[in-house]
Amino acid sequence: MTTTTKYATQDLALKQVGQRSITVPNAARIGRHRRPQPSAVTQWWTLTGRTVRAMIRRHELLVAIVAPLIFTVGFYLPLKFVMQLQGINYAQFLMPIIVLQAMAFTSISAAQMSATERITGFSSRMQTMPVFGPVPLFSRMSSGFLRSVVSLTAAVIYGYAIGFRFVGGLSQAMLFCVIALTFSTCLSLGGDAIGSLSKSPQATSQALTLPQLILGMLSCGFVPESGFPEWIRPFVRNQPVSQFSYAMRDLAAGTLTPNTLVPVAAWSIGLIAVCGPLAYWASTRRA
C-alpha cells in the first residue's frame, strides 16, 4: 500500500513546518476544547433567578407586602385625629413616608443578602469563576428592585384604602414611583456595601435599622416641620428623607415645583455617586 493510500482513509491534514512535513489528523484539530465564552447577561439572569428563588423560600416577598401594612396602621391610626384637628388630610400627608419606610426596609434585606453571600463563601467562589465583576452586585440589586416594586405596590394599595389619592395625574404618579424606587436603589447600594464588608448578617441588619428609624422620625414625613423644636428644624428640613417626602407629597397633589425636585435629584446623584463605587469595590474585593 502506498503512502497516499495509507493516509487517505484517515483524513489527515498536512502542515508544512520549515523543510519538514508533519501530518495532523483533522479529528485532532476539530476535537480541541473550546474556551468558554460567558455572557454577562446570561450570568446576571441566572444569578438574579437564584436570588429571587431564595427570597421566595425565605418569604421575603411576603414581608415586603406586610411591612407597608404595619407602617400604615401603626402611623395612621394614632395620629389621624390629631392631624385632622390641624386641618391636615393625614392620609395624603403620610403616604410618602410610608412608602419611603418600606423602601428603606428593602435596603436591610440587601445588606443581609450580601453579608450572607460573603460569609458562606459564595462571593469568593464567584471571584474564582469566569463571572464578570459587577454581575453578582447587579443581580442583588435587580432582586432588591423587584422586592421594592412589590413593596411599593402594596403601600399604594394600602394608601388608597385609607383615602390617599394621586391628584396630579398619571405622569406625576409615575414620577412618584420613580422617586421612591430611586430612594430604594440608593439605600440598597449602601446596604449592599455594608453587608459585603460585614461578617454577620444579623449585626448588619441591627446596625442599619437604627439610623433609618432616626432619620424617619426626625423628618417631615410624619408631622410638619412646625412640630419640631426650633433648634432641630434645619436638620429635619434638609435631610434626605424630608426632601424626598416633600417631592412625593407635591407629586401626589399635582403641585410639584423645581424647588422641591432639585434637592431630590441632588441627593439621588450624590448617594449613587458615593454608594455605587463603594458597593462595587466591596463586592469585588478579595476577602
Given a cut of 70, the residues of the chain with pLDDT beneath it are 1-37, 286-287
How confident is the model at residue 37, as a pLDDT? 64
How confident is the model at residue 4, as a pLDDT? 47
Q: Of 200, 182, 286, 194, whose CA–CA distance to 244 is shortest?
A: 182
How confident is the model at residue 34, as a pLDDT? 60
Q: Contact, 75 vs 98, CB < 8 A?
A: yes
How confident is the model at residue 213, as a pLDDT? 84
- Report the SS3 class of residue 164: coil
- Name the β-bridge partners of 23: 14
Q: Which residues neighbour 140 within 8 Å (Cβ) at sequence distance 6 or greater?
A: 51, 110, 113, 114, 117, 192
- Residues of the chain with pLDDT > 70, as a percent, come to 86
Record the pTM. Answer: 0.82
Q: Contact, 181 vs 263, CB < 8 A?
A: no
Burial class (CB in 10 A: 0-12, 13-18, 19+), 251: buried
How confident is the model at residue 242, as a pLDDT? 93
How confident is the model at residue 33, as a pLDDT? 55
Q: Contact, 169 vs 254, CB < 8 A?
A: yes
